[in-house]
Amino acid sequence: MKIAIVGATGAVGREMVLDLEESSLKDIDLKLFASPRSQGTKIDFRGKSHTVEAFSLERLAGIPFVLMSAGGSFSKEHSPGLVAQGSTVIDNSSAWRMDENVPLVVPEVNRAVLKPHHPRIIANPNCSTIQMVVALKPLFDRFGLDMVQVSTYQSVSGTGQKGIAELSAQVEAQLKFKDIKPQVYAQPIAFNCIPAIDVFHPSGSCNEEIKMVRETQKIMGMPSLSVMATTVRVPTFNCHGETVSARLGKAVTRDELLAAFQAGEGLVLVPEDDYASLPTSRTVAHDRRVFVSRVRLPYGQTSSHWVQFWNIADNLKKGAATNAVQILEEILKEM
């Protein structure tokens, strides 16, 4: 099976290599591509060293599946050409997510939109959206869903290698009492929280919040679902956390909520209210699953339409690379 990764030397691209290596897919003939400055880089895959090539459409001719993690403008320019050559492109950027002709896929939630298979672009959703809809799906299926409110705590790896490098350099500078000069973010990220991500919209929302609203509506198949989001960049290297409040279609008990999460696909429920057991950025890093804990109703109520929970996942894994590989696995199941 010929598979290509474009953007293989980036943070998400390298995770795609690891996820493919550990996937159920057998006999993969892997080709790695990146920009000319990364040409010649060596990356190991299943015990063999692979050399990264400079991207060109011609070099990908005859490769049926392309995992794309090279940015939105690059994908806009080259993905249609790849499809014209017969490739299915699973794109990790925001370029195609809201295109009405492009499926936006989280397999646990809406795998049915992948059928029937044919060469096309398939969009990988925003990392913060992916983990939230995985957690919302079992609630929607059992109880209905009327409204979602979410606050995120998003790590610097969501900005890529440059975000990781900036936090690392700033922590070192801060501890040595040196001046911090932010470059990637408008303010220092070390020992700080920045309460907006991406550019602002005239409405007061930032782009990251708008993505969560629109993508959740599309993936859940609920164009009128009310979603309010506040997205925050925090000084952690990996994993995005979320506090999610949802109004369900019917009143439920806490036990009913726990049972729904326990049965949820791709979810790990941590029911214990114990600090040592709570899933955090440190404990779930490099895990492919979505973790849910702190499940509760409004204080003093034994049954309510409103529920709240903590939701956390590795944004480079389930929030990006893992979800893309799972989309590929879903397609191949039907072939």
| Alpha-carbon separation of residue 173 from 72, 178, 179, 208 (angstroms) | 33, 5, 7, 29
Q: Is 193 a catalytic residue?
A: no
Contacts of residue 324, defined as CB under 8 A and 6 or more positions apart, other chains included, come to 16, 19, 67, 69, 90, 92, 124
- The residue annotated as part of the active site, out of 127, 206, 239, 305, is 127
- Give the number of residues written for the chain: 335
- Judged on CB neighbours under 10 Å (0-12, 13-18, 19+), 26 is exposed
Three-state DSSP at 291 gives strand
Decide: 268 and 291 in contact? Cβ < 8 Å.
Answer: yes
Question: CB count, 10 Å around CB of 92?
Answer: 28
Q: Is 239 a catalytic residue?
A: no
- The residue annotated as part of the active site, out of 206, 239, 240, 305, is 240
How many CA within 13 A on the CB side of residue 191? 8
Please state, in angstroms and rounded to a whole number, the distance separating the CA atoms of residues 266 and 317: 12
Catalytic center residues: 127, 240
